Amino acid sequence: MRISSSGWIRGRDSTRLLHYEGGGSRTPCTDIVCPMYMRVWDIVKIANDPNETRPLILCEYSHAMGNSNGNIHLYWEAIDSTFGLQGGFIWDWVDQALLKDGKDGRKHWAYGGDFGDVPNDLNFCLNGLTWPDRTPHPALHEVKYLYQPIKVTLREGKLEIINSHFFETTQGLEFSWNAHADGCNLGSGILSLAPIKPQSNYAIDWQSGPWYSLWSSSIAEEIFLTITAKLLKSTRWVEAGHIISSTQIQLPARREIVPHAININSATLNTANQGDIIRVSQQNWDITFNIKTGTIDSWKVEGIHLITKGILPSFWRAPTDNDNGGGPNSYLSRWKAAQIDSLHFITESCVIQSTTKNFVKILVVYHGVSKHDKSKILIKIDMAYTIYASGDVIVECDVKPNSDLPPLPRVGIEFNLEKTLDQVRWYGRGPFECYPDRKAAAHVGVYEQSVDDLHVPYIVPVECSGRADVRWVTFRNKNGVGIYASRYGSSPLMQMSASYYSTSELERATRNEELIKGDNIEVHLDHKHMGLGGDDSWTPCVHQQYLVPAVPYSFSVRLRPVTPATSDHDIYKSQFQNS
């Protein structure tokens, strides 16, 4: 029947291409190889098959359910570099929900079952790149970046600008450049280019660019260059000034910069022991450390409470739709079978290792056990706190999971901040939500948002609000008092999140409007965070390089109190030296 139908259509109009996926994406019925949710390596294999002369277009791919669309950059690395791969159609454009009056008198997004519809597919209609009102999900930024027609690369000393359009030149575009060093603006300007023909490129030695003098005179650790192309004139679909493409590249390091020990200065640390409590203070701050629990009970600056709970190890996240996909083989099922979802930390020991006039060092050993079976140790954690008279607290963590555990959701630390420390400023990727396998569009820079604005209101709450590749972050109140955190020593960049909604609250609520704010801000600083996945939502499909295997990890975090006069940039720079 399929063959006769396709034959009839071809007989009626031989000029039309036929696309038919049902019954197999490579049948003689279709002029386009059109698989559904096929993996990257398999589409490349088909494209490289010498017996396959048809183009391949994914009829569906990158299932956008909730916090998803991880790995999509891997598809486009393949599509852009492999002849015969022509792209694909993301499922779906929009979350398919309707407004409905709630019990609170406000309108909320309603979906499967909310209208008495039986049977229904629950939230499986919520798989769009936008909310129902067409407000973009964070993942839409990633899609736009990967689809942008102007590509910029830096290879072998050459900056190459590629016009991947097949028919349009760059005549109607204005190119500009911007350079920044360690998050601080160095300079910007217009990049005068002759029109680039379709499927052609323009290449220059990057050292010949107008940014070179700024680069050569900088002593920064990192220097990034952003090339942006904007429309000069309005079109039928967008206004003049619309950004067609924006690509950030990291320029070569000006010189080698290595971490070194912080300056503990000559100040004297005040230390007092009172039973299970050790109190450490100096000038305008004081820390109360609980030896029995191995945690900070209180950290105050100028009389203002900063930390209200913690610091504790962290391995769990509120499951995403993709975490839940796959039945007994899903990540969530495996996590629960291993009892990672019920992980509880027992303080095995806490000792003061050394005390001097400049610092106090405290060693804590935790055993991560299940709340349901405290006899089995799942993860051992050694944490060393070094509290300096300068106000710096260096937290060194050694994590040793059992080797039989499945890949972990995250490896890091968490703590609770006083709720008024809601002004977040960070140097990392942003400004929108991004994760290890969905961060290509998020430029590195210094951004500032409130804790409320960090939250992403997915209709069904899941792990959200993360920011990738964070170098440092500060949390301040409206008066500028707060706390600073950064990677330290040779530790890699961090994954950061901060929310009034705890991990357990995000997991409990089934709708965004059901979420209840906590009395404090839950902060996560992750050494490793598992990718989101997104090849589909019904099999565990986070790619291998974005999993967090159950192996030993070591990392360090630097914390420090800040006041209105404190420069977060200067604190970060103080832990590096030029060599």
Q: Are 254 and 223 in contact, with CB atoms under 8 Å apart? A: yes
pLDDT score of 135: 97
E-assigned strand segments in 18-97: 56-61, 85-90
User: 251 CB contacts (<8 Å, ≥6 apart)?
Assistant: 154, 179, 206, 211, 215, 223, 224, 225
- Give the predicted TM-score (pTM) of the model: 0.95
pLDDT score of 449: 98
CA dist., res. 540 & res. 71, Å (int): 13
Domain covering 158-251 in this structure, CATH number: 2.60.40.10
Strands 482-487 and 494-499: unpaired
pLDDT score of 266: 64
Q: What is the DSSP string of 440-461?
A: TT-EEEEEEEEHHHH----SS-
Burial (CB < 10 A; 0-12, 13-18, 19+), residue 306, is buried
In this prediction, the residues of the chain whose per-residue pLDDT falls under 50 are: 1
CA dist., res. 400 & res. 412, Å (int): 12
pLDDT score of 509: 96
User: Fold match between 158-251 and 270-575?
Assistant: no
Q: What is the DSSP string of 236-262?
A: SSS-TT-EEEEEEEEPPPSS-EEE---
Chain segment 194-247, per-residue pLDDT in tens: 999 999 999 999 999 999 999 999 989 999 999 999 999 999 999 999 999 999
pLDDT score of 132: 97
Q: Are 201 and 161 in contact, with CB atoms under 8 Å apart? A: yes
Q: Give the bridge partners for 272, in sequence order.
A: 279
CA dist., res. 18 & res. 14, Å (int): 10
Sequence spans of domains, the chain: 32-136, 158-251, 270-575
CA-based radius of gyration for the chain: 27
pLDDT score of 451: 98
Domain covering 270-575 in this structure, CATH number: 2.70.98.10
Chain segment 499-529, per-residue pLDDT in tens: 999 999 999 999 999 999 999 999 999 999 9
pLDDT score of 172: 95
